[in-house]
Chain A
Amino acid sequence: MTEQQALYKYCLRLGDNALVQSYRLSEWCSNAPTLEEDLALTNFALDMTGRAQALLAYAGEVDGNGKTDDDLAYRRGEREFYNHLINEQPNGDFAHTIARLLYTSTYEYLFYTELMHSADERLASIAAKVVKESRYHMTHANDWAMRLGNGTEESQGRMQAAIDGLWMFTGEMFETDAADALLRDKNIAVDLGKIKIKWMERITEMVKLAGLKMPQGSYMQTGGLKGIHTEYLGHILTEMQYLQRAYPDATW
């Protein structure tokens, strides 16, 4: 693997995480429990779309074959997507969406804070932009986790079930592959070991503040880094890519 190939894959992974999350968050449009929450979740989706655009456009440039952000979003198959499995999981109830947002936004906030110091200037500049948005997502997730966790018996039960249910997908966020190793040597990629400690501290603190118990399971489901996904990504892509697959190059 060359540095160029590694960087291409790294950008795809980050871009795919944003794209797939954007899709899931968009599904809340007109379905959220309140109008304010509808606005919040869909605006987060918008942030994610912008993030995916910036990262996939850069991936296309690194690849050097003239692929645009749209080509990469709409014309890759399931096995060529490298997002973390947690992002493609169904929204579930509102507590599940908040639990996922809690896990991922905390991760992203810590990750992009580190990526701001990347030796790759383009990634560093995108990270500086993204970190501010992630902070806002994280604050929102924290607020809701506390509100639901410290709420009624019903909301607490659902919030606990949600953090327990998604726990098995959190290990993968810290998994590395050959691309990470190569880019770590060049100070381009983030040291995920360092992030993991901070992430665990923050999540433990938030779970406690929310009056919940830390999930106990030790089995971690992985596969996203190799392009092996749960059944859900295929369904997402079928819908997301339908138009460009059926009518290539369609514009409006």
Chain B
Amino acid sequence: MVIQQYTKEDILKMLSVITDPEIPVVTIQEMGMIKDVNIKGSSVEVLLTPTYTGCPAMNLIEQDIRMTLHAGGVDDVTVKLVYDPAWTTDWMTDIAKAKMKLYGIAPPLTSSCNSDRFTDNVIECPHCGSKETKMVSRFGSTACKSLFTCKTCLEPFEYFKCH
């Protein structure tokens, strides 16, 4: 009989050190990207959900998961991409949103702000808290963020879009 070496909690604990390659202050778990962990004997399957279908960080994150678990003594690791249910910024924990704000990125509002017509949401400046801000570009350094500028403190900032 094979003795099960790791529990799901053990694996999740190991994975909790992996941060988002683009926003290094938050972990992929806080982002809501780890959907589940399946353990069969000595093999571990991690279910990962992409934030955006074309997110170029996915390969890196998959690699991080494998390396982290290998380092923790788990040899047989598979990472499976799952699309259902679709990732939403609503899964981001409050802690993640708070850390993001401190880092200088305005965290997303709820996903219900994603109207299919014209968006007129108020995005707060993460630097000075002003509500007088203006979008300068629909996309920023990554697909998941857009660029804003604050009319009060004049600082530019990124906004993590509702999704």
Q: Does chain A bind chain B? A: yes
Q: Which residues of A contact B (CB under 8 A)?
A: 35-36, 39-40, 43, 46-51, 53-54, 109, 121, 124-126, 128-130, 132-133, 135-136, 138-140, 142-143
List residues of B (88-133) whose CB comes within 8 Å of A's CBs: 88, 114, 116-119
Contact present for B83 and A51 (CB under 8 Å): no
Answer yes or no: B153 CB below 8 A from chain A CBs. Answer: no
Residue in B53, B118, B136 whose beta carbon sits within 8 Å of that of A139 in the complex: B118
* Docked complex Cα distance between A133 and B53 (Å): 9
Known contacts A132-B163, A140-B138; decide if A51 and B84 are in contact (CB<8 Å): no
Query: For B54, what are the chain A residues with a Cβ–Cβ distance below 8 Å?
Result: 46-51, 53
Known contacts A39-B140, A40-B139, A135-B116; decide if A128 and B53 are in contact (CB<8 Å): no
Answer yes or no: B85 CB below 8 A from chain A CBs. Answer: yes
* Docked complex Cα distance between A105 and B161 (Å): 19
Residues of A contacting B: mostly: helix
List residues of B (2-50) whose CB comes within 8 Å of A's CBs: 50
* Docked complex Cα distance between A124 and B50 (Å): 16
* Docked complex Cα distance between A130 and B118 (Å): 19
Residue in B50, B88, B114 whose beta carbon sits within 8 Å of that of A50 in the complex: B50
Known contacts A138-B116, A139-B116; decide if A124 and B84 are in contact (CB<8 Å): yes
Known contacts A43-B143, A50-B52, A50-B53; decide if A132 and B114 are in contact (CB<8 Å): yes
* Docked complex Cα distance between A50 and B17 (Å): 27
Contact present for B139 and A43 (CB under 8 Å): yes
A-B interface pairs (CB < 8 A), number: 76
Contact present for B118 and A142 (CB under 8 Å): yes
Residue in A40, A46, A128 whose beta carbon sits within 8 Å of that of B137 in the complex: A40
Known contacts A124-B84, A126-B83, A138-B116; decide if A36 and B53 are in contact (CB<8 Å): no
Contact present for A129 and B138 (CB under 8 Å): no
Q: How many residues of B contact A (CB 8 A)?
A: 27
Answer yes or no: B154 CB below 8 A from chain A CBs. Answer: no
Contact present for A128 and B84 (CB under 8 Å): yes
Known contacts A54-B83, A125-B84, A129-B83; decide if A136 and B53 are in contact (CB<8 Å): no
Answer yes or no: B86 CB below 8 A from chain A CBs. Answer: yes
Query: For B150, what are the chain A residues with a Cβ–Cβ distance below 8 Å?
Result: none
**In the assembled complex, how far is the CB of residue B93 from the closest CB belonging to chain A, in whole angstroms?**
20
Known contacts A40-B137, A124-B84, A125-B84; decide if A50 and B55 are in contact (CB<8 Å): yes
List residues of B (55-100) whose CB comes within 8 Å of A's CBs: 55-56, 82-88
Most buried by B among A49, A50, A142: A50
Contact present for B53 and A129 (CB under 8 Å): yes
Query: For B85, what are the chain A residues with a Cβ–Cβ distance below 8 Å?
Result: 125, 128
**In the assembled complex, how far is the CB of residue A57 from the closest CB belonging to chain B, in whole angstroms?**
9
Query: For A46, what are the chain B residues with a Cβ–Cβ distance below 8 Å?
Result: 52, 54, 56, 143
Q: A46: nearest residue on chain B (CB-CB)?
A: B54
**In the assembled complex, how far is the CB of residue A247 from the closest CB belonging to chain B, in whole angstroms?**
22
Query: For B140, what are the chain A residues with a Cβ–Cβ distance below 8 Å?
Result: 39
Task: Report 21 cross-chain contacts, Cβ distance below 8 Å, ordered by A residue.
Answer: A35-B137, A36-B137, A36-B138, A39-B137, A40-B138, A43-B143, A46-B56, A46-B143, A47-B54, A51-B53, A54-B83, A121-B84, A124-B84, A126-B53, A129-B83, A132-B86, A132-B88, A133-B53, A136-B161, A139-B117, A142-B118
